[in-house]
Amino acid sequence: MNTTVMNNKLDKEMNKSKKLKSIFEKISKAESNLYDIRHKFFNTLSLIKETDNPDLSSIYTEIATTMISLEEKRKELFILIDSKIIPSTVNLLNSAKELKKGVSNYVSLKKENDKKEKERQKAASNNDKDRDQLIQQEIQSGQDQLNNEQVSNEDGVLSFEKERIMNNKYLMLHYIHSELALHASAVELLSKAYTKIFNLFPISHLPEFVKEYDLNLNNNELANFGYDKKNLKRKFNKNHKIIEILE
């Protein structure tokens, strides 16, 4: 087992895990801040009341409601990052640290065995057979430990590499899935809001505005401002109140 190569490999993977952790922490913080800012702005938008034109108030409310609902999908995104993605990078980092401890233990055992071998050679040169035999037993015991540690480390680093590959693959897939959920919701919710807003006609309230402010304009003159009564028809809404919409 090449301990230098293994340690270098583990150091590189620890560095990658730290970078991934830092990247997603920044993404999560940015999404969380954006969530707070947009909530604040769209809540403010919903408070704007157009007393002269209720349809405009409806438009503001529709946008605010839609965007606040959409922001809940954004919240799911940074919650996923905080609860799954970042902990996954931390787990990999800790796994690499544990493996480095195993490699370090292997190196210590090997040094200890090498030291005992020198002691044995010294005892043999001094014709100290009892000492020589005792140290040989210690060396054999140490070698057994060394072999076990080597097998454990080699299995561990292979298992770690498999875990790292699959973990990072599914980590990215989870992130992409959450981004897709956010954007799919954006398409769905914004399409509905667009259609609803498109079907509102604030300009139909111009006659009421003329009347309220006692302007000297008739319906024909209002045509110069985009109001054309001929292109309006009356229709009942769900509450059986008459509303005017463009044909």
Structure tokens at 146: 């060394």
Looking at the chain, how many residues does it have? 247
Asked which of 184, 200, 216 is the last residue of a domain, the reply is 200
Element (H, E) at 51: none
Considering the domain architecture, whether residues 131 and 94 belong to the same structural domain is answered as: yes
Separation of alpha carbons 140 and 129, rounded Å: 16
Considering the domain architecture, whether residues 21 and 59 belong to the same structural domain is answered as: yes
Residue 226 belongs to domain spanning: 201-247
Asked which of 165, 180, 200 is the last residue of a domain, the reply is 200
Considering the domain architecture, whether residues 140 and 206 belong to the same structural domain is answered as: no
Asked which of 200, 216, 238 is the last residue of a domain, the reply is 200
Confidence (pTM): 0.77
Considering the domain architecture, whether residues 29 and 85 belong to the same structural domain is answered as: yes
Separation of alpha carbons 26 and 172, rounded Å: 16
Considering the domain architecture, whether residues 117 and 222 belong to the same structural domain is answered as: no
Considering the domain architecture, whether residues 21 and 46 belong to the same structural domain is answered as: yes
| Three-state secondary-structure class, residue 236 | strand
pLDDT in tens, the chain (247 residues): 789 999 999 999 999 999 999 999 999 999 999 999 999 999 999 999 998 999 999 999 999 999 999 999 999 999 999 999 999 999 999 999 999 999 998 888 888 888 877 877 777 777 877 777 787 788 888 888 888 888 999 999 999 999 999 999 999 999 999 999 999 999 999 999 999 999 888 888 899 899 889 998 888 888 888 887 766 654 434 443 444 444 3
Considering the domain architecture, whether residues 175 and 65 belong to the same structural domain is answered as: yes
Q: What is the CATH number of the domain that holds 58?
A: 1.20.1270.60
Considering the domain architecture, whether residues 223 and 196 belong to the same structural domain is answered as: no
Considering the domain architecture, whether residues 195 and 205 belong to the same structural domain is answered as: no
Considering the domain architecture, whether residues 178 and 211 belong to the same structural domain is answered as: no
Give the single-character DSSP code of 216.
S
Considering the domain architecture, whether residues 193 and 206 belong to the same structural domain is answered as: no
Total structural domains within the chain: 2
Strand segments (E) across the chain: 232-236, 242-246
Considering the domain architecture, whether residues 207 and 181 belong to the same structural domain is answered as: no
